A = this chain, B = another copy of it.
Amino acid sequence: MPTETEVALERAITSHRHHSLYSDRAAKIKQSAVRDVFDISLQPGLISLAGGNPFLQSLPLEKLGGMAYRLITEQGLTALQYGGGQGTERLRAQACEVMAEEGIEDADPANVVITTGSQSAQDVACKVFCNPGDVVLCEDPTYVGALNTFEAYEVTVETVAMDELGLVPDELQRRIDEVRSSGGNIKFLYTIPNFNNPSGITLAAERRQRVVEICQDANILIIEDNPYGLLRFDGHPIAPLRAGNPDDVIYMGSFSKILAPGLRIGWALVPAHLQRRFYLASEAVTLCPPTLNQMLISEYLDGHDWRGQITTYRSLYSERCAAMLQALEDFMPDGVSWTQPQGGFFVWVSLPEGIDTYPLLYKAIDAGVIFIPGAAFTPSDDPSSKLRLAFSAVSTENIREGVRRLAPVLQQAMGAR
């Protein structure tokens, strides 16, 4: 539902003599609900369960600052200069070490392309594979940033049903057949298999190979977006879809969640036969990723116990997730349900069908808490009875207080039906 400001802005845009100059895709690029919320969340006193920011307080800032100092003073002529479009060799090799932690043992640094965050990797993937009108399959719900990118490429987004174990393989096959029989040209399945943003759901290990085989048989690629994979609360990471399938999966990783999003460094591990065009397309967007940032991450990975840091994050986020689940249990009215994440940043809350969570956002703000309405995370324009809560950046006390503030807002909406 556009705000009054948005309507006014749209009117100003369409009445100008330059209006005819916009590309067809420009009209499809819209302000997202997440962005609305980002501005609101800066208000003091509000508890924000909206933004999926990592908790940076536990980073070794003194050490990182010293590394940046030495990089600039001792290697500044390299760190501040243009670099190669594919990213530094050192960081590409280190990205392979990070992926090995999750079970990708055969990654070749030559097939890694460093990108400006993994958002930029998604943009490049669309650039390389998607004509307007092509179809992309994804989970429902899925990452709002990916949906924005798909819109910018005028891609038709078709969703595949999930259950508590993630994508349902038979549903995937059914949707492929359905889309194709109505003439759709499917290019790839976009999936966040671990602790999906926003749902928190993980694709079960026993389903993973089946998903790959279905896509392989159908000759469509898989884009595996895995920023949270190492942030599993207990036990070992589940092997990514890419692990045994080097030719069919473009794997996207990120340093945003295991180190720092403000550095904007992610990467794509690309099948060897697709690497060249992917890399050249990436170069055409940004020339090269920021050199200083790549070198700082390399120093951190070599000079700090980054695996220990991830262990710290895992127990921190695990504790916060537990606090959120307990608060939901304690405060939420009957009829509200939620997911049980095994890692990551998010819990997905379902209200009874027919309740639109978007207008509830403004009531929640009055009550002193914010969330992101579920409509942001689906390609559909229909109202959504879901909402996303993030526990990553908030103390356990504030998580509990935030959920306590939210409960009567939801209860009232349910009672008003």
Residues of A within 8 A of B (CB): 9, 12-13, 16-18, 20-26, 29-31, 35, 38, 51, 53-54, 56-57, 59, 61-62, 64-66, 68-73, 76-85, 116-117, 119-120, 123, 127-131, 134, 145, 148-149, 151-152, 187-188, 219-221, 256, 259-264, 271, 273-274, 276-277, 280-281, 283-293
Contact = CB atoms under 8 A, between A and B. Distances in A.
A116 B273 CA distance: 28
Main secondary structure of the interface of A (DSSP, over half): helix
Contacts of A262: 78-83, 290-292
A331 B283 CA distance: 36
Please list the 4 inter-chain residue pairs (A to B) with the smallest Cβ-Cβ separation, ordered nearest first: A262-B291, A80-B260, A65-B72, A65-B73
Contact of A273 (B12, B128, B289, B291): B12
Given A285-B285, A286-B119, A128 B23 contact: yes
Given A9-B276, A69-B65, A72-B61, A81 B286 contact: no
A129 B81 contact: no
Given A127-B23, A260-B81, A221 B18 contact: yes
Given A24-B131, A80-B59, A264 B284 contact: no
A380 B54 CA distance: 48
A221 to B, nearest CB: 6
A314 to B, nearest CB: 19
Contact of A284 (B128, B152, B220): B152
A26 B260 contact: no
Given A56-B77, A64-B76, A123 B22 contact: no
14 contacts: A12-B273, A13-B276, A18-B271, A51-B82, A53-B81, A54-B81, A56-B76, A61-B73, A80-B260, A116-B120, A262-B291, A264-B286, A264-B289, A292-B293
B116 A284 contact: no
Nearest to A39: B84
B72 A64 contact: yes
Nearest to A188: B21
Given A18-B221, A148-B283, A264 B276 contact: no
Contacts of A51: 82
Given A20-B219, A131-B23, A66 B64 contact: no
A54 B35 CA distance: 36
Contacts of A68: 65, 68-69, 71-72
Nearest to A289: B264
A70 to B, nearest CB: 7
Nearest to A73: B65
A16 to B, nearest CB: 5
Contacts of A149: 284-285
